[in-house]
């Protein structure tokens, strides 16, 4: 469960960093600043070169890793490394370094949000893998249909009675966006690996109700500047990106 949760956190950090292109690449302009706007350069090492991640992996990578890196069309990989530095107040500041990401996040966005019915390779039996199968917040309990105006970009996990989900939820019609993460342990008998967990009766309804409460709050909340969500409006046709 911890691995699922950790990976999910990284995924959404990626999503949120990509939503702010002004901070997409490390450089002198993204050095952390104090409350007055003064750069805190002496608290931090200098910004690394733009190609730092690529150079590091090629210098230290095994022959197998280099084989993958040399064949981007076959493996379609994308990587992001987020360096964390803390200032004198112990506040974290993030510097992102990309490899084969650039300004095009459609690959990542698509595969965090695509539904089983939209995937062609492989083909999923939607009687079993329904569209909300991995969308715990708002939708999975009761196989709730997902409105066409809403997309959920998320990474869930379930194992040994733990359920976890971290999601970026977008309502295009109402211009609403929010992030929500959660974990719950549902193992009434306390026995692991017996495949007897209360996912259906307790876990998924928990996520649905929490998601709905937050969603209703977000619908009613007044925003001074409504978000521009065009970058998350994707085509899910085969070969669309």
pLDDT in tens, 100-144: 876 567 888 998 999 999 988 788 999 999 999 999 999 999 999
Q: Which domains does the chain have, with CATH numbers?
A: 25-102 (no CATH), 112-232 (3.30.160)
E strand or H helix that includes residue 176: strand 176-185
Whether the per-residue pLDDT at 166 is higher than 70: the answer is yes
pTM (2 decimals)?
0.68
Spatial separation of the C-alpha atoms in residues 94 and 110, rounded to whole Å: 25
Q: Which residues pair with 163 in a beta bridge?
A: 158, 184
Confidence tier at 45 by pLDDT (50, 70, 90): low
For the purposes of burial, counting CB atoms within 10 Å of the CB of 123, is it exposed (0-12), middle (13-18) or buried (19 or more)?
exposed
| Confidence band for 47, pLDDT divided at 50, 70 and 90 | low
- Number of C-beta neighbours around residue 87 at 10 A: 14
Least confident stretch, 55-69, 72-86, 122-136, 143-157: 72-86
Picking from 124, 110, 132, the residue whose alpha carbon sits closest to that of residue 208 is 132
């Amino acid at each position: 469960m911890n691995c699922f949760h950790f990976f999910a956190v990284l995924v959404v950090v990626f999503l949120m960093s990509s939503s702010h292109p002004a901070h997409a690449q490390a450089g002198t302009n993204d050095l952390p600043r104090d409350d007055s706007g003064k750069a805190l350069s002496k608290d931090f090492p200098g910004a690394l070169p733009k190609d730092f991640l690529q150079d590091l992996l090629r210098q230290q990578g095994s022959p197998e890793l280099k084989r993958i890196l040399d064949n981007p069309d076959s493996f379609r990989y994308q990587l992001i490394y987020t360096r964390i530095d803390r200032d004198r107040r112990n506040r974290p500041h993030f510097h992102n370094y990309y490899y084969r990401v650039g300004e095009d996040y459609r690959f990542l966005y698509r595969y965090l949000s695509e539904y089983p019915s939209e995937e062609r390779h492989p083909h999923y039996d939607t009687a079993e893998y329904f569209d909300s199968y991995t969308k715990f917040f708002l939708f999975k309990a009761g196989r709730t249909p997902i409105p066409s105006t809403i997309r959920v970009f998320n990474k869930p996990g379930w194992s040994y009675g733990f359920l976890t989900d971290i999601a970026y939820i977008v309502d295009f019609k109402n211009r609403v966006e929010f992030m929500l993460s959660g974990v719950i342990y549902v193992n009434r008998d306390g026995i692991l690996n017996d495949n007897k967990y209360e996912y259906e009766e307790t876990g998924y309804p928990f996520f649905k109700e929490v998601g709905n409460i937050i969603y209703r709050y977000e619908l009613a909340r007044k925003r001074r500047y409504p978000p521009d969500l065009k970058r998350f409006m994707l085509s899910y046709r085969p070969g669309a990106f």
